[in-house]
Amino acid sequence: MRAFFFPIAVAAMIASPAFAQDQTVEIKNFMLMTVTVTQGSTVIWVNRDQVPHTVVEKTKLFRSAALDTGDSYSYKFDKIGTFDYFCSLHPQMVAKVIVVAAPVARPVHKAKPG
Ligand SMILES: [Cu+2]
């Protein structure tokens, strides 16, 4: 009946959350996207519209130049928090980047040998 025992370490690996992960945000149809990333991640914005856009944080933490079609801008988020940003050319375009704590790394305990 030993087939009932599954390796615990494998299950733990599958369940472990991702750490800092870069995320790409497409700017389309005059819309910015709200994204949630872990601390230390880089967000990359790519303009998919046929008009220029910018990404500017409300307190000027980051501020891109005008992005033409296909241009991109990236910013690394080292601080936890909620960052409101907008397009300076179209101020109705608003969204947020929400930065959450990266999970603490924990060693995976091996199952006791049978
Ligand atoms: Cu815009």
- pLDDT band at 26, cuts 50/70/90? very high
In the reported structure, the alpha carbon of residue 39 is separated from the centroid of ligand 1 by a whole-number distance in angstroms of 26
Between the CA of 70 and the centroid of ligand 1 the distance, in Å, is 13
Neighbours of ion ligand 1 (CB under 5 A): 53, 87, 89-90
Q: What angle do CA 89, 26, 22 make, to 5 degrees?
A: 115
CA of 50 to the centre of ligand 1 (A): 10
Give domain limits for the chain: 19-100
Predicted local distance difference test score (pLDDT) of residue 112: 72
In three-state secondary structure terms, 86 is: strand
Compute the distance from residue 54 Cα to the ligand 1 centre, in Å.
6
pLDDT at 15 over 70: no
Which CATH number among 2.40.110.10, 3.40.47.10, 2.60.40.420, 3.40.30.10 corresponds to the domain 19-100? 2.60.40.420
pLDDT at 4: 54
